[in-house]
A and B are shown apart, each in its own frame.
Chain A
Amino acid sequence: DVKVTQSSRYLVKRTGEKVFLECVQDMDHENMFWYRQDPGLGLRLIYFSYDVKMKEKGDIPEGYSVSREKKERFSLILESASTNQTSMYLCASSPRFGTGGSGNIQYFGAGTRLSVL
C-alpha cells in the first residue's frame, strides 16, 4: 500500500515563526502536492512538484514556499506564519505516468492541523 506520512498531526506556532511541514511518500511517486483545507472551501492547491527540485504554484501560493531535495520528501514552508494560515494541511502524491487515468490517482497523508496564535 502507498504510504504518505506527514510528520506532525498537530502543530501550534506563534505569529511570525518560520514553520516547516514535512511529507514523505514511500511509493517512488514523481508528483507530490500540498493542499490546504478549510471548512466550506474544500481543498485548495498550494504547490505541487513533478520532480526533484521542480515546483509549480497552485491556486493559493502566497505566503508559502516548498522544497523538494529528494524524490520521497516534499516540504511546505511558511516563511512567517500568520493567523490566517491556521488550517488543515494535506500532502498527497501520485505517479507521473499510468495507463488510462491511474496516473491521476492521488494518495493522501493524514494531514497536519496547524494553529497559528
Chain B
Amino acid sequence: AQSVTQPDIHITVSEGASLELRCNYSYGATPYLFWYVQSPGQGLQLLLKYFSGDTLVQGIKGFEAEFKRSQSSFNLRKPSVHWSDAAEYFCAVAPRGQAGTALIFGKGTTLSVSS
C-alpha cells in the first residue's frame, strides 16, 4: 500500500541551528513529492515540491529538500531556524501522471524552536 512515513513526531531545535525533517515514502514508482507547513490554527501552505530534474529543490522561507531515489526519501532542511518556523510540517505524495488525484499525507512532524 502507498504510504508516507515521517519518523519524528516532535522535534525541538534551538533558534539559529540547522534543521532536517525526515520523510520516507512507499510507492510503486517515484511519485510527485510535496512538503506543506501548518502554522497554529491555520491551513496548510505549500513549502516546496519535487516533480523531476534537479533532486535538490528550493522552497519558500529558506527551506530546501532533497529527493533520494535509492532511499525513497524526501527530507526537508533549513540551515538556520527562526522562531517563526515553529509549526507542523507534512510530507505528501501524489501518483505521477495522474493530475488532480488526492495527496497522501504523512502524519506530520511538530517543530518547536527554543531560544
Contacts and interface: CB of A to CB of B under 8 A. Distances in A.
Interface of A: 4, 6, 30-31, 33, 40-43, 45, 48, 50, 58, 90, 92, 94-98, 100-111, 113
A75 B105 CA distance: 22
Interface residues of B, number: 26
B32 A110 contact: no
A57 B13 CA distance: 39
Contacts of A96: 99-100
A43 B100 contact: no
A50 B102 CA distance: 10
Nearest to A9: B41
Contact of B103 (A30, A95, A104): A104
B23 to A, nearest CB: 12
B49 A105 contact: yes
Contacts of B46: 105-107
Contacts of A107: 46
B100 A31 contact: yes
Please name the 5 residue pairs, one residue from A and one from B, whose CB atoms are nearest each other, closest first. A103-B99, A101-B51, A108-B43, A42-B107, A104-B94
A111 B99 contact: no
Contacts of A100: 51-52
Contacts of B51: 100-102
A113 B49 CA distance: 28
Interface in B85-115: 90, 94, 96, 98-103, 105-108
Contacts of B9: 40
27 contacts: A33-B102, A40-B107, A42-B105, A43-B90, A43-B105, A45-B102, A50-B100, A95-B100, A96-B99, A96-B100, A100-B52, A101-B52, A101-B94, A102-B51, A103-B99, A103-B100, A104-B94, A104-B100, A104-B101, A106-B44, A106-B46, A106-B103, A108-B44, A108-B45, A109-B43, A111-B41, A111-B42
Given A104-B32, A111-B42, A42 B108 contact: yes
